[in-house]
A and B are shown apart, each in its own frame.
Chain A
Amino acid sequence: MRYFNLPDLGEGLPDAEIQEWYVKVGDNVEAEQPLAAMETAKAVVDVPSPFAGKIAKLFGEPGDTIETGDPLVGFEASEEVANTSKKEDQGTVVGRVDSQSTILADDVTISSMTTTPSDSLKVLPAVRATAKKLGVNLANVKGTGPSGQITINDVKSFTGSNTSGQIQEGYEVLKGFRRTMCQQMTRSNDQVVHTTVFEDALIGHWAAKTDITVRILQAIVAACKAEPALNSHFDGDAIAVKRFSDINLGLAVDTENGLFVPVIEKLNSLDAGQMRDKINEFKDKVLTKSISPEEMQGATITLSNFGTICGRYATPMIVPPAVAIIGVGRLHDSVVAIDGKPEVRRAMPISLTFDHRVITGGEAARFLKAVINSLET
C-alpha cells in the first residue's frame, strides 16, 4: 500500500479530527481531489490527495483523531512503488514541527501570574484547554506525542481511566480535595521559603468560658495592625507584593471529608459576636457540605487551630499567594519560671510560619509578639 500520512495542517498542530470523508475504499481519485474534511484546533480544512490512485484504506471514522504524521489514507500501490517500506509516507514532504519551544516559552510568560506545575509543561494551548475542561492535571498525564508532548488523545484517555497504566498495583489515584491538597502543597514547597517561629501565650488569667477562637482572631487583628507586612500576597514570578488593609482570614476546618478553609472577609471590621456568628455559619456549611468555592477564596492570612485535636507546635505550610499562617497548638498546663520560681500556668502554643522571601525575621517576630501580647492581656 501507498500511504498518505496526515500533514501538519496548521503550524505545529499535533493532530486533527476526521469530520467527513469525501471518498470511500475502492474510489479512484485524481491528484488534488479533496479526500476529507479535517478539524484541527484552529480550523476545518479540506485535505486534497497528493496523488492519483485507488483508495485501499481509510484510517478512521468521522470523529476519530489522527495524529500528525500517522497514516490517513492508503492507496493501492502501483507496481513501481510496491516495494517501498511499509507506512513510509509518500505524500508529505514537509517535516512536522517537532519542537514548540518558542511558542511555549511565550505561553509560560503570559500565564506566569497563575503558574501551576502543569504550566511549565510543553503543551499546546488546545491541549491545555481540553485538560482544563475535563479537569485533568497535565502534570499527571504521560505524553505520547513527538518529544513526549501531551496530545489531546492523551488527555482524553487519561479521563477515561485515571490509572492510565502508570499506577502500580495496590495504589489508588488521589481525587478531589486530596488531589488539590497534593498539588497545592507541592507548589507551596517548591516556591515558598518557609520559616517558623514558636512562642507560648500564658492565658491562665482568662475568665471561664472565654471564646478561645474569637480571642485568637482578635489577636491576629491586633498583630496585623502592628505588623501589616504579614497580611499580604506575594507573586513570586513577578517578585511583587500586594498589601491589604482589610484582613480576610482563612479558617482551617477539619472534617471527615477533609480540610476546608473558608474565608472570613474583613475580619478587622467584626466585633466578637459577629466573629462567632461567622465561625458558626462556616462550620455548619462545611459540615453540611454547602460551602461554595467562592467562600474559600482570597485569604490574606490563615489560622490553623490544630491544637483542638493534638499537637503543641507545628510548621504549617503557606498556600501562595499568602505569606503567613498561624498555628495554634493544644492548650496545656506548663511549668514556667515566674519571678525566678517555677509555677504552673495555662499555655497556648503558637507557631507562626512566614515566607522568608517577603517577610523579615524581625517583622515575623514583632507580629508574633503582638499576638502574644493580645492573648496575654
Chain B
Amino acid sequence: MKKVAEFFVEYFQFLDKDSKVVDDLPEFTNDRGFLISLYRSMVLTRIFDEKAVRMQRMGQLSTFPSSLGQEAVMVGTGAALKKEDVYCPYYRDQGVLFRHGVTPKELFIYWSGDERGSAFSGAREDFPIAVPIATQSLHATGVASAFKIRKQPRVVITMCGEGGTSEGDFYEAINLAGAWNLPVVFIVNNNQWAISVSREAQTKCETIAQKAISAGFKGIQVDGNDIIAVYDKVSQAVENARNGGGPQLIEAITYRLSDHTTADDASRYCPKDNLDKAWDEEPVERFKKYLEDYHDFNESEDLAIKDECSKEVDQAAIDMLNFEKPNAESMFDHLYENFPEALLVQYEELIAMNKEGGK
C-alpha cells in the first residue's frame, strides 16, 4: 500500500462563546466603525425576523423562515460581497441580502406572497429567493461560469443549509465549480436542523466541509456564531476566487434557535437542553460583549441602534401593507416577448371581467 492523497479540514474561531479572543485577530477588527456596522446588521436581522413572525401570525405574511441565532453567518457573508458580486440566496438569508442592498420592505413584500418583492432595487443581479432545496447552488455555478466566460473579476456566493448538501443539486454544483475552477463560494449554514432532521441523522460525514474535497477544492469550518471568523474567512475565499483561485466551501457551525418556518413547531423534536446550550453561544450577544470589552461599546449606543432598526422595520412593514396590490392581468406580464394569440383571448376576457367587477 502507498498513500496517494491525504486531506484535512481546518476550523477557525476568534471569539469563544464567552467573547474571549482566542486567536490573532484579523486587521479589520481595528476598524471600529465597520465592526459597529456589522453589529447593526445583525440587530436589524433579528428585529426583522421577530417582526416577520408576528406579521405571519396576523395574516400579513404567508409564511416565514426566521434566521434567529444565525445572524453572524448571514451578516458576515453579506459583508464579504462587493457591490458587483452576485448572491444566489436560499430562504433564510435575509441578513446577507440586507448587506447587499436588499431592503426589509422588499423581503416583506416577497413573503406576503407578492413576487414583485424579488425585484431587488439595490441588488439588481442577485437571484430571487430559492425555496426548493439547493437549486441555488446550480444557479451560482452557472453565474460563476458566465463571469469566467466574460472574463469579469466578479464572484458569486450562494448558501444552503447542511440538509441541502445531501441534495444531488449540491453535489452537481460543487463538482462543476471544481472541474471548471469557477469563482464561486459555497456557504453552508449548518444550523443542526433540516426541518426536523438532525445534523447527526443527515450524513455520516464528520464535517460538511469535507464534501468540498470530493469536488477537488478546499472546505473549511468556521464558528458560525463568531462574526469575525465568518467575515474573515468568507472574505478570503471571495478574494481568492476573484483572483482565479477557484471555489471554496465554508461550513459555518451555528444553531437554529427558531422553528424551521412559521409552519413548524421545533419544540416537538428539538431537545430543550440543546436549545438552552445554544442560547449561551448565540452570536449577537457574543459580538456585543466583545465590542463592550475591546471597543468601548456602551449601552446608549446599543439602545440607539436597536431603536433605529425597530423603526426601520416597522416602517418597512407599513410600506408593505400599503404597497398597491397587483392587477389580476399582471399574471400575464413578463411571460412572452410576443404574446401568443391564445393567451391574448384570455387576457382580454380577464380585463372584461375586471370591468364587470370580477364576475
Q: A residues engaging B (CB < 8 A)?
A: 4-11, 13, 32, 42-50, 91-95, 97
Alpha-carbon distance between A46 and B113 when the two chains are bound, in angstroms: 22
Q: Lowest 7 A-B CB distances belong to which pairs?
A: A7-B59, A92-B59, A43-B265, A10-B263, A50-B58, A11-B263, A94-B62
Asked if B259 CB lies within 8 Å of chain A CBs, one says: yes
The interface residues of chain A, by DSSP majority, are classed as: loop
Against A, the Cβ 8 Å flags (1 = close, 0 = not) of B314-328 are: 000000010000000
Chain B 249-282 interface 0/1 with A at a Cβ cutoff of 8 Å (1 = within):
0000000000101111100100000000000000
Does B63 count as interface, using CB distance less than 8 angstroms? yes
Contact A50 B263 (CB under 8 A): no
Do A8 and B57 have beta carbons less than 8 Å apart? no
Question: Which of A10, A13, A43, A92 contacts B60, CB < 8 Å?
Answer: A92
The docked-state distance in angstroms from the alpha carbon of A42 to that of B63 is 13
Picked from B58, B263, B264, the residue with its CB within 8 Å of the CB of A92 is B58
Min distance, Cβ B278 to any Cβ of chain A, angstroms: 20
Q: Judging by beta carbons under 8 Å apart, are A93 and B112 in contact? A: yes
Known: A32-B54, A93-B112, A95-B113. A44 touches B61 (CB 8 A): no
- The residue in chain B whose Cβ has the minimal distance to the Cβ of A93 is B60
CA distance A145 to B113 in the complex (A): 22
Question: A7 and B265: CB pair below 8 A?
Answer: no
**Chain B interface, number of residues (Cβ within 8 angstroms):** 19
B113 partner residues in chain A, CB cutoff 8 A: 94-95
Chain A hits for B56, CB < 8 A: 7, 9
**Beta-carbon contact of B321 and A93 below 8 Å:** yes
A50 touches B62 (CB 8 A): no
Q: Could you pull out 28 A-B pairs where Cβ atoms are within 8 angstroms?
A: A6-B59, A7-B56, A7-B60, A8-B59, A8-B62, A9-B56, A9-B57, A9-B262, A10-B263, A11-B62, A11-B63, A42-B263, A43-B259, A43-B264, A43-B265, A44-B265, A45-B57, A45-B265, A46-B57, A49-B58, A50-B59, A50-B60, A91-B59, A92-B58, A93-B59, A93-B321, A94-B60, A94-B112
Point out the residues of chain A lying under 8 angstroms from B59, CB to CB.
Answer: 5-8, 50, 91-94
Q: How far is the CB of A196 from chain B (nearest CB, A)?
A: 49
Minimal beta-carbon separation of B54 from chain A (angstroms): 5
Contact call A10/B61, Cβ cutoff below 8 A: no
Given the interface contacts A42-B264, A43-B264, does A7 sit within 8 Å of B57 by beta carbon? Answer: yes
* 16 more CB-based (< 8 A) A-B contacts, given A10-B63, A43-B259: A4-B58, A7-B58, A7-B59, A8-B62, A9-B56, A9-B57, A43-B263, A43-B268, A45-B265, A46-B57, A48-B54, A50-B59, A92-B60, A93-B59, A93-B112, A94-B59
